Amino acid sequence: MKNKIDLTCAGGGGPLLGISSEAFTPSCHAELVSASVTCSEPLGLKNVEHTSVTLDSSRNEFGMTVTERHPYVTLRAVAFTMAEILLSLTIIGVVAAITLPSLTGNINERTWNTQRKALYARMSQAISLMPALNGYGANIEDAAETFITAGLSKVFKINNICDNSHLNDCGLPDEFIDGGGSKQSLPIQVQDLNSGIITVLGTISVKNTKAAAFETANGESILTFYNPNCSAENNEVVLNDGSQPGWVVKQQVCVNFVYDLNGNKGPNTLGKDIGTMSVMYSSDSKVVMPVAPRAVTGSMTQALATAACRKLDDGQYRLPNIEEVLAVYYNRLIYSNSAFGSNSKVWTSTTIDANNVYTFGYDWGRKFAAAKGSSAGVFCLKR
């Protein structure tokens, strides 16, 4: 049985509450104790060494603190063992390994999106200052270089220009990851973008000019393909029997850029630091920058196609206009057919009149007039 210890308080404070010999926190009756009371030696305590106990009325269970000064009271220091520390560090390392790549990827995505929009704005402004985009060079070997030096450099800040034999000197990689996730060599002529666009159809063809490159003042590396014979906008469309010259749309791409936002640092992947930008029409030009083309399975009306795009990636996708579709077609090998899937004809958002819009045929690169309620394939672009 535990020994009961009766203590008395000095100054007539009354007896202490009984406590066991294993508990050393004496307390006095609150109603009998003033602000600070010192208790006397315990009465009847045998074989226990002690000095004194001081009670402070401000902080015990009745509002008083107790300060003990007993030689038999030992304070134990609490600490982590080495095993516990190592286990904690291991857990922290595992969590960091899981979360850091995702965080880094999100930061990179935001950085690329910001750079992409800034490049698009600067290029759009520069192109608008040029009186015309055609006629800068008829020579297949140096048409693109002539366009850069004699035309674009007058309205756009350029640090370095590289001819077709020295494209790497402008920070471009030898290889990149295309839209299908495969490694692809850097294109060096128009035919490397889409062999179909230089096929002669009637009297219309696109010259297989060689690429040149330049570095911008902001650090982007830009591969440039140029068509010196590009035409103005042509609103003619073909019928389903192909009786009208709809293939002339290929001639309406004056300049095609493949850009790398951070030079050859990597990841050199389409949709991340790599992308395309196309300039349509020799006068009143339009600049388009398709981002992350994505096919939708099945054929449907234009209204359903518009809704299908808006459902992708929390509303970040939309139905492309006719220029954006043409730009993706022009760079067909770079996008590796990932944009249009198995669809031979796809919808655009460009209207002709109240009942008809443009569709685009990938088999021959022609645009068609189609009633909105008819059926065609779908691909979407990210906003």
Q: Is residue 83 part of a domain?
A: no
Residue 189, both tokens: 């002529």
Same domain, 9 and 151: no
Whether residue 277 contacts residue 326, with contact meaning beta carbons closer than 8 Å, is answered with: no
- Residues 239-255 as b or e (16 or more Cβ within 10 Å = b): eeeeeebbbbbbbbbbb
Residue 38: strand pairing partners: 54
Query: How much is the pLDDT for 200?
Result: 46
**259: burial class by Cβ within 10 Å (0-12, 13-18, 19+)?**
buried
> CA 201, CA 245: separation in Å to the nearest integer?
9
CA 328 to chain CA centroid, Å, is: 21
How many CB atoms lie under 10 A from the CB of residue 20? Answer: 11
**Total residues found in the chain within this entry:** 383
∠ Cα 295 120 377 (to 5°): 15
Low-confidence ranges of the chain (pLDDT < 50): 1-14, 16-60, 62-70, 73, 200-203, 240-242
Residue 199 has what pLDDT?
59
pLDDT score, position 184: 94
Claim to verify: residue 300 and residue 348 sit in the same structural domain: yes
CA distance 256 to 173: 18
How many structural domains compose the chain?
3
Among the three residues 258, 289, 320, which one is the final residue of a domain in this structure?
289
**Per-residue pLDDT at 322:** 92
Query: Are residues 183 and 265 part of one domain?
Result: yes
Sign for the CA dihedral angle at 334, 340, 344, 348 comes to: negative
Within-domain flag for 350: yes
Q: Are 182 and 281 contained in the same domain?
A: yes
Alpha-carbon distance of 243 to 247, in angstroms, equals: 11
The answer to the question of residue 328 being in a domain is yes
| Residue 154, CA distances (Å) to 18, 167, 171, 255, 282 in order | 99, 21, 22, 16, 17
| Whether residues 243 and 338 fall in one domain | no
Same domain, yes or no: 206 and 274: yes
On whether both 136 and 262 belong to a single domain, the answer is yes
Does a structural domain hold residue 187? yes
| Rounded-to-integer distance, Cα 186 and Cα 104, Å | 27
Same domain, 129 and 273: yes
Question: Both 230 and 139 in a single domain?
Answer: yes
Encode pLDDT of 38-58 as tens digits.
444 444 444 444 444 444 444
Residue after which a domain boundary falls, among 265, 289, 313: 289
What domain range is 32 assigned to? 4-69
In a domain, 320, yes or no: yes
Query: How, if at all, do strands 158-162 and 175-177 pair?
Result: unpaired
Whether 153 and 275 share a structural domain: yes
Which token pair is 20?
């066991």
Is the residue at 88 inside a domain? no
Q: Is residue 78 part of a domain?
A: no
Hey, what are 338's tokens? Answer: 């990932």
* pLDDT given for residue 85 in this prediction: 87
Helix (H, G, I), strand (E, B) or coil at 124: helix
Q: How many CA atoms lie within 13 A of 100 on its CB side?
A: 6
Final residue belonging to a domain, choices 289, 309, 335: 289
Is residue 19 within 8 A of residue 26, CB to CB? The reply is yes
31 with 150, same domain? no
Q: What integer pLDDT is reported at residue 35 of this predicted model?
A: 44
Here the CATH number for the domain that contains residue 324 is: 3.10.100.10
Tokens for 171, please give them. 């920070």
The answer as to whether 38 is a domain residue is yes
Which residue blocks in the chain are alpha helix, DSSP H? 82-128, 143-150, 302-310, 322-330, 332-335
Residues 379, 316 share a domain: yes
